[in-house]
Amino acid sequence: RTAEGAPVSEMAVRSVVSAPQAGARVPEGELEVAGSAWSGTSAVARVDVSCDGGESWNEATLERLADSRWAAVRWRLETSLLPGRREIVSRATDASGATQPLTPVWNAGGYANNVAHRIAVEVPRH
């Protein structure tokens, strides 16, 4: 059960960044950011990606892997990164309107935590 007493029988909407890897050194310029998203209540409707720690967002392209509302989707975004330390954030929204929170909503045991996924990458100067 969550802190509010609701059962934890359904998976909340979630997404992860799988490329680039956390801590990677990536070249300045064009870069494909990719990952996957899923939800236990309805189909994933969109994934938004930020490459500046959540200051601005771009909608990723979704690729449905199966014709099922329960199936994970792949997502990808072509972007450009400037030199420096960059924080990439993915945030999914499902068809019911549920969206990953930007800050964790904690409860005893950490159940139902579906905070937006964040990774840091380094873009060296040429």
Residue 41: predicted pLDDT: 86
pLDDT at 30 over 50: yes
Strand 61-64, strand 58-59: pairing: unpaired
Q: What is the pLDDT of residue 113?
A: 81
Q: Quick one: pLDDT at residue 70?
A: 78
Q: How far is CA 101 from CA 7, 35, 57, in A?
A: 19, 18, 14
pLDDT > 60? residue 74? yes
Mean pLDDT of 48-74: 92
> At residue 18, does pLDDT exceed 70?
yes
Q: pTM for this one?
A: 0.88
